[in-house]
Structure 1
Amino acid sequence: MQNLSFEPLTPTNFLRRSALVFAERTAVVDGEVTFTYAALWERVRLLAGGLAQLGVRPGDRVAVLAPNSHMMLEATFGVPAAGALLVPLNIRLSPDELAYILDHAGVSVLLHDAELTASAEAAREASRSRPRLVCVGDSGSEYEALLSSAEPLLVEVADERSPLSINYTSGTTGRPKGVVYHHRGAYLQALAMALHTKLDVRSSYLWTLPMFHCHGWCFPWAVTAVGATHVCLRKVDPEQVWRLIRAHKVTHLCGAPTVLMSMLAHPHAPTSALEPRLLACVGGAPPSPALLERALQAGIDVIHLYGLTETYGPAVICQPQPEWSDLPVELLADLTARQGVGNVIAQPIRVLDENGNDVPADASTTGQIALRGNDVMVGYYRDPEATRAAAPDGWFRSGDLAVRHPDGYVQLVDRVKDVIISGGENIASVEVENALMTHPDVLEAAVVARPDPHWGEVPIAYVTRTPGATVTEAELIDYARSRLARFKAPKAVVFTELPKTSTGKIRKNVLRQWAAGDVPHMTDSRG
């Protein structure tokens, strides 16, 4: 019997619906450029048709090298509309790194922003695949010419579990791996993000999170599904962020804790809640209770999300409970700093010991976070061995150590590779960082291991001070010792600007190289 109730799930259908229901509402604001939902849907189908004109066929791979812009948003919908797989590229990668991805994915067409022409051309020259380049610039660009010459196209999805895109990991410990997403996972993850963050047609979303990172945690589809407005931001600059928030009545944004830190440290940051009230979704690293407390004092609501490239972004949410709103700010911040529980489409999180058994919910026994469900990748592209190693029993191992609280919420203790073992004692770098972050003169802190001939390794802290602060190394070490067991306190503090990824995550692999003396680094002139 024909199943009349089944239609394959694909996030492209969110735009098809919004173009009908919210046709004349503003879909995207990109500087002086704005498009309604009807216009965005037309441009997406023209892009699909244009790609077909270039020879792109269903199953081919199309890469995009662009900052947060209307083109990046159009490609997020338009490449799948052509039946192709989208390969979003990190704009901070070197040409050689980009070339590796182009070749590994077998990319046939590379859409790129005019500002990144040099990187795109160099990557193409360094690659074996030599993809066709299409430049996006002003109204006379090759991209606009492609759209103007194309016929609208939409390739219907026959199998919702077929590949949608390939998202490459950062590759901080080796070659980046291609994480394959399917249509079903992206569709459901987008709905989860819309539900948990209470997006609706009145919402305005500011793109502080790169769209190339896990498809912006699936928010391009979530924002579109509810008919809200995308406000594009090519580069995170706190002054520009606050200007756009006020000009476009922004209600939502996402980013790493460092993004929120930089916003709160800027003179334009509010001292009380804006109207409409702002919700900041933070993830990529555990936000310190001190940061969360500062945000709440500024009238900014914070939702803590946790996930990886392999989980379509946030698979876990620190689900706020109604009773929490009556708690003191300090206690609320401590609760919000936990990673939480699986999102509405995820399987319950597990925390497993070395033998694959669940650890007790005693808030002290550590294990590795394991995830499973529709929001976990299909696998690594062209790497079955790595796929099997990541999920040996069908549960994806995150590489993060955590404890489970009696209420079922999990809390990250550390990355497996970031645990410091000093004289046989385990030191969680996150615990030391959180202690340092409570000091009023500390803007950011990251702790890594430094080799030591006696203890094996000892903790060393890299700290960015707040503007005008003069706290010294000795004062910070004493401060940490007053809040931690003495062996956990950093043995040295280096004042410096912290190296970060394009998504704002602190690059601890670089800090470990600094600590080992493998590469030099710049110190704060206030020393």
Structure 2
Amino acid sequence: MTASIFEQGMPQTSANHVALSPLTFIERSASVYPDYPAVIYGDIRRDWATTWERCRRLASALKKRGIQAGETVAVMLPNVPAMFEVHFGVPLAGCVLNTLNIRLDADAIAYMLEHGEAKVVLVDPEFADVIAQAVDKLDDKPLIIDVADEAFYPGGKSIGDVEYESLLAEGDPDYPYRLPDDEWQAISLNYTSGTTGRPKGVVYHHRGAYLNALGNLLAWGMSQHPVYLWTLPMFHCNGWCFPWVIAAMTGTNVCLRKVEPKRVMELIAAEKVTHFSGAPIVLNGLVNLPEADKSVIDHPVKATTAGAAPPAAVIAGVERMGIDVTHVYGLTEVYGPVTSCAWRESWDELPLEERARIKSRQGVRYPMLEAACVADPDTLELLPKDGKTMGEVLMRGNTVMKGYLKNPEATEAALDGGWYHTGDLAVWHADGYIEIKDRAKDIIISGGENISTIEVEDALYAHPAVEEVAVVARPDEKWGETPCAFVKLKDGCADVSEAELIAYCREHLAGFKVPKTIVFTELPKTSTGKIQKFVLREEARNL
């Protein structure tokens, strides 16, 4: 077949085709705005020129230490400046960045280091013991690099072959880095939580990281030079791709070692923070601060929240504080958030509580996601947009993972039929907005009726005494399963009883959805603020 006239005499060359990579973002910011602030952490104030130089030094030093392109560099770090720098320095060396969950135990870390074949581990002194225990289990020992933090974690333990700043001193600030030859090349490795077995290694490519970074800033309407507070762990989906977003927008990274609601409010005021992200638990912490600890917010502040469906009451509480909330939704397998509850002007005049209810929906796809739908997971048939018919959320596009490392069977299953299967159950509203009703594994089937745990949780969150709640299934001889609510009460509300909350639910829910059991307790959480429902399911089974 003869090629079209548009395919003749116009070859793809280095002049008209470059592999997409977020590494170009930092190079541009450093060249256009070299003196603009890039990183703030206590007394540390670094501009983009300095940060770019440090990233190139890191890449150069890794190469001098014998680390080859395509090899894995793991990091066990909180949200400190080095954690931002590795998002550029490691892939500049052609290596793959593996950010480790800082709350995992030695066995889990050892599995990830071995499975990902890590050649290097950067470690913060707070996690030196767990890394030492994990590495001790490995036959092939990686190079260990200590990342000291004398300002905020003085006197920490050293277990490394070299300290981070000394390593950077070995590197060339003019290191002649190369962008990837192929944008399909891996940029990072992120492990899933592994609550139902061994964690799976999700592999991201440069193209996906580039596009989802752009998707974040477009969905959020982010303008140049934002001031971004790191309340979201950078180890989680590479900080939802926000290290690359902030580089693209020449923003300021306000690093925060530990998320404490009072400190968050102080930094918002002191550094004029414009944006931050986090799970609903982060927002809930701000809402429940004593009034004396709530700094006056006198400038525009925006927050994105995801990780679990945020209760409308929590969104309303944060917006009363002067923080505009955007609800986003995604998973590790899609680079973090890929849908948002895109706002419509017609909703502006609605009462706050109604606006918050609308914002609690997962919304519509990002500009950079090709498709998202609610469908029958077996037939892939699209379900009606009636707000009632429940199906699985399916996605496809350039911001879906390459696949699971060394696990072709799981990769094939997850991408079956040309769609990524999220495992989340949702309805589709007439306006095209998706609303998650539950994880497939979390739905409660009581007497043949499906009960959304999220719906029950929303009802309980609306009670003025409830600070946190999680609902799971409790086995029942008659009904099969019934809702069991684990509740943390607000300070000063210890007199609220199980009977009172059940009666409250009866006023707001259909009878079969009302919890039959309420347990007052602290809720177990992951390091990203997600409530560990698998722990609570086991407790409910043992009640």
TM range (shorter): over 0.9
The alignment status of 1:145 with 2:170, answered yes or no, reads: no
Q: Deviations over 1:329-376 (max 9, x none)?
A: 121111111100000101231111142100011110110000110111
Q: Secondary structure, in 3 states, of the residue corresponding to 1:349?
A: strand
Q: Secondary structure, in 3 states, of the residue corresponding to 2:178?
A: coil
The alignment status of 1:490 with 2:515, answered yes or no, reads: yes
Q: Distance in 1 between matches of 2:181 and 2:81?
A: 28
- 1:275: how far off? 2.4
| Letter of the structure 2 residue corresponding to residue 120 of structure 1 | I
The alignment status of 1:433 with 2:460, answered yes or no, reads: no
CA 1:497/1:227 → structure 2, altered by over 3 Å: closer, same or farther?
same
| Letter of the structure 2 residue corresponding to residue 254 of structure 1 | S
- 1:273: how far off? 7.1
Structure-1-length-normalised TM-score: 0.96
2:202 aligns with 179
Q: Distance in 2 between matches of 1:68 and 1:138?
A: 11
CA 1:270/1:332 → structure 2, altered by over 3 Å: closer, same or farther?
farther
Query: Counterparts in 2 of 1:411-490, with a 5 A limit?
Result: 411-469=435-493, 470-490=495-515
| Letter of the structure 2 residue corresponding to residue 67 of structure 1 | P
Q: Distance in 1 between matches of 2:257 and 2:310?
A: 24
The counterpart of 2:285, out of the listed 259, 262, 269, is 262
Q: Deviations over 1:23-81 (max 9, x none)?
A: 01110011221211000000000000111122111101100100001010011111000
1:242 aligns with 265
Q: Distance in 1 between matches of 2:346 and 2:126?
A: 49
Compare 4-13 and 41-50 and name the one that shifted more.
4-13
The counterpart of 2:542, out of the listed 482, 504, 517, is 517
| Letter of the structure 1 residue corresponding to residue 137 of structure 2 | A
Query: Counterparts in 2 of 1:42-441, with a 5 A limit?
Result: 42-138=53-149, 142-152=163-173, 153=175, 154-267=177-290, 274-353=297-376, 354-441=378-465
Q: Secondary structure, in 3 states, of the residue corresponding to 2:194?
A: coil
Q: Distance in 2 between matches of 1:402 and 1:278?
A: 30
Compare 70-79 and 201-210 and name the one that shifted more.
201-210
Compare 415-424 and 119-128 and name the one that shifted more.
119-128
Structure 1 unaligned residues grouped into runs of 5+: 519-527
Contact 1:242-1:269 within 8 A present in 2 as well: no
- 1:261: how far off? 0.1
Structure 2 unaligned residues grouped into runs of 5+: 1-10, 151-157
| Letter of the structure 1 residue corresponding to residue 165 of structure 2 | E
- 1:5: how far off? 1.7
- 1:225: how far off? 0.7
**Alignment RMSD (CA, Å):** 1.5
CA 1:270/1:195 → structure 2, altered by over 3 Å: closer, same or farther?
farther
Contact 2:286-2:318 within 8 A present in 1 as well: no
Contact 2:266-2:295 within 8 A present in 1 as well: no
Contact 2:215-2:338 within 8 A present in 1 as well: no
Contact 2:262-2:293 within 8 A present in 1 as well: no
- 1:431: how far off? 0.7
Query: Identity over the aligned pairs, expressed in percent?
Result: 49
CA 1:191/1:138 → structure 2, altered by over 3 Å: closer, same or farther?
same
| Letter of the structure 1 residue corresponding to residue 413 of structure 2 | A
Q: Distance in 2 between matches of 1:269 and 1:9?
A: 48
Contact 1:271-1:299 within 8 A present in 2 as well: no
Compare 198-207 and 351-360 and name the one that shifted more.
198-207
| Letter of the structure 2 residue corresponding to residue 226 of structure 1 | M
Count of residues in correspondence between the two structures: 518
Q: Distance in 1 between matches of 2:292 and 2:299?
A: 15
